[in-house]
Amino acid sequence: MIRRLHSPLKWLKIVNLISLIPMNEELVMVRYGEIGVKSPAVRRRFEKRLVNNIKSALKCQSTVEQGRIFLKVEDTAETLELLARTFGVVSFSPVVYTDTDFDAIKEELTIYTNELVEEGVFSGEDSFAIRCRRVGQHDFTSQELAAFAGSVVHGVTQSPVDLSHPDFEIFLEVRDDRTYIFHQKISGPGGLPIGTQGRLIALLSTGIDSPVACYLMMKRGCSVTALHFNNYPHTSDDEEKIRKVARQLKKYSHGSRLDLYIIDYGEFLTQCQEKAPPRMTCVLCKSGMYQVAEKLAEREGALATLDGSSMGQVASQTLPNLVATRHFTNKPLLSPLMGLDKVEIENLAKEIGTYQISILPEERCRAAPRHPETHTEIKKMLEAQEKLDMDAVLDDLLKNMRKVRI
């Protein structure tokens, strides 16, 4: 049966697949999805960005050809690992190729099948099917080539043909005068090439949600600048943990820089406790974060901000509080997790490799009131912010912001 990897996390299993790849393969075929439905000009721009993103992390030669990117590589294992976490890539296959000539195809396919048998990947006990696809003008049909290729494989293995539910599939993709042969389609993360949709300022915490939110918007082509608020001494000092989270996200960001800024936020939380109604500490905390993020966005040329809010999950994320905390910002504030529940978010975190980092022990925020406000009125927010002299406080926070190495 064709081997498919459907989750970005499963790139870890790719190394185990290398033994299934015939040794003479050094070419990888890359497929993309929605890029192909863009207008010609946009498509070319996105193709170029995708190739550049790949080449920023991989030494290779590339050719773009009618919906495919072909990579001539030196290290197949490294290539497969990288492509499994490259946004814009829908799937990819290590391939061998030959001339589009029945004699040449027979010779190459015989060698390919024998190597699969020798590796124990395919045997006479497995049913099989040939799947053909053609691009260009040829004096044969896809069905005719599939029948011919099937006879070649059967001659090597004596395996039975089963077109409906085969144990194993071999693919032939004919593109003009060249024919590619492969047996694996490994799934990539899909989405759009990172860097095609502008830059976001992401509120990144050490929790489970916000790293997933970052990942999802990176998958939609956005570059990310991460902004973390360190609430010490109201929580444990989490600088090393946030570096680990950012480091994991950076694995998906090749071709686009991912910077991490940290703001020491503990003193602001103390002022919220002392100068504003205690029940409003959480909404003032979140509102302050949004406003600082917007100021940073203006400085960095970012088009929007991003957070990991999920409707109703905590006190600051009730609908009235979402309205109140976002009232003082003007740029778009994206929350891609808004309609997901905690289990769904956790499953995504496990897939992208941030979950095990996020659940490392740390202290809960001691500034959170026992009975936080869940229906904050804009009028009360305005009054509280005036008492805090919010603009001056936020400007000071931004001045003392630190850029840290990931």
Task: For residue 309, give every residue at least 6 positions away whose Cβ sits within 8 Å of its Cβ, in sequence order, or none.
Answer: 209, 316, 317, 322, 335, 337, 338
Quickly count: other Cβ atoms within 10 Å of residue 211's Cβ. Answer: 29
What is the pLDDT, as a whole number, of residue 59? 93
The two tokens of residue 183 are 């047996």
The proportion of the chain whose per-residue pLDDT surpasses 70, expressed as a percent, equals 94
Closest CA to 280 of 125, 168, 385: 385
What is the pLDDT, as a whole number, of residue 338? 97
Distances (CA, A) of 144 to 26, 95, 138, 158, 402: 28, 21, 11, 20, 65
What is the pLDDT, as a whole number, of residue 5? 37
Asked whether residue 398 carries a pLDDT value surpassing 80, the answer given is: yes
Instruction: State mean pLDDT over 256-283.
Output: 95
Tell me the domain boundaries of the chain. 8-187, 199-404
Asked whether residue 9 carries a pLDDT value surpassing 80, the answer given is: no
What is the pLDDT, as a whole number, of residue 335? 98
Asked whether residue 6 carries a pLDDT value surpassing 80, the answer given is: no
The rounded distance, in Å, linking the Cα atoms of 237 and 274 is 22
Task: For residue 125, give every residue at least 6 positions away whose Cβ sits within 8 Å of its Cβ, in sequence order, or none.
Answer: 159
The rounded distance, in Å, linking the Cα atoms of 208 and 189 is 20
Task: For residue 222, give every residue at least 6 positions away whose Cβ sits within 8 Å of its Cβ, in sequence order, or none.
Answer: 194, 197, 198, 199, 200, 306
Name the 3-class secondary structure at 154. helix
- Mean pLDDT across the chain: 92
324 pLDDT band (50/70/90 cuts)?
very high
25 pLDDT band (50/70/90 cuts)?
very low
Q: Which amino acid is at 403?
A: K
Strand segments, DSSP code E, in 58-194 are: 60-65, 68-73, 91-99, 128-135, 168-175, 178-182, 186-187
Asked whether residue 20 carries a pLDDT value surpassing 80, the answer given is: no
Instruction: State mean pLDDT over 153-160.
Output: 97
- Identical fold, 8-187 and 199-404: no
What is the pLDDT, as a whole number, of residue 241? 96
The rounded distance, in Å, linking the Cα atoms of 46 and 38 is 9
Instruction: State mean pLDDT over 336-345.
Output: 97
Asked whether residue 11 carries a pLDDT value surpassing 60, the answer given is: no
pLDDT digits (tens, 9 = 90+) for 225-250: 999 999 999 998 889 999 999 999 99
Angle 261-267-273 from CA coordinates, rounded to 5°: 130
Asked whether residue 17 carries a pLDDT value surpassing 60, the answer given is: no
What is the pLDDT, as a whole number, of residue 364? 87
Task: For residue 22, give every residue at least 6 positions away whose Cβ sits within 8 Å of its Cβ, in sequence order, or none.
Answer: 96, 111, 112, 115, 116, 119
Closest CA to 168 of 132, 135, 127: 127
66 pLDDT band (50/70/90 cuts)?
confident
Asked whether residue 12 carries a pLDDT value surpassing 60, the answer given is: no
What is the pLDDT, as a whole number, of residue 176? 94
Q: Using an 8 Å Cβ cutoff, are 402 and 297 in contact?
A: no
The two tokens of residue 398 are 């931004």
Distances (CA, A) of 196 to 46, 50, 87, 173: 7, 9, 11, 29
The CATH number that domain 8-187 falls under is 3.30.2130.30
The rounded distance, in Å, linking the Cα atoms of 149 and 110 is 9
Q: CATH classification of 199-404 is 1.10.760.10, yes or no?
A: no
pTM: 0.91
26 pLDDT band (50/70/90 cuts)?
confident
pLDDT digits (tens, 9 = 90+) for 84-129: 999 999 999 999 999 999 999 999 999 999 999 999 999 999 999 9
41 pLDDT band (50/70/90 cuts)?
very high
